[in-house]
Amino acid sequence: QVQLVESGGGLVQAGGSLRLSCAASGRTFSSYAMGWFRQAPGKEREFVAAIQWSGSITFYADSVKGRFTISRDNAKNTVYLQMNSLKPDDTAVYYCAARYGSARLEEDEYDYWGQGTQVTVSS
């Protein structure tokens, strides 16, 4: 019972930064763990980051660890993905997802998905 809308994607030079936002509807937003996934053309969708409902516990894919930061503002019903030191390999459609309960890394554990936002990193 939640809808997700991503925003903040765009074109950026390698080494640059972007911040993605995912606005969620629903009065029980704080009860949901949130995740970010991404999918490049011709490739499988992969896990990027996840955050517990409290915001105190986070998880990251090895490929983005140290460069990306996931956070959430429950008062604004919004989850963020701060992406620094972007690489061309980060180019993908980024999706946010919600799961009732604890954070998980598996795609099939998430119940709700946004429409995705394109991130393109040029050399």
Beta strands in 1-123 (DSSP E): 4-7, 10-13, 18-24, 32-39, 46-51, 58-60, 68-73, 78-83, 92-100, 112-113, 117-122
Query: Model confidence over 67-88: pLDDT tens digits?
Result: 999 999 988 989 999 999 999 9
Query: Model confidence over 31-73: pLDDT tens digits?
Result: 889 999 999 999 999 999 999 977 789 999 999 999 999 999 9
Q: What's the token pair of residue 9?
A: 């994607």
Whether 51 contacts 58, CB under 8 Å:
yes
Share of the chain above pLDDT 70, in %: 98
Q: Nearest CA to 58 among 84, 82, 89, 33?
A: 33
Whether 96 contacts 22, CB under 8 Å:
yes
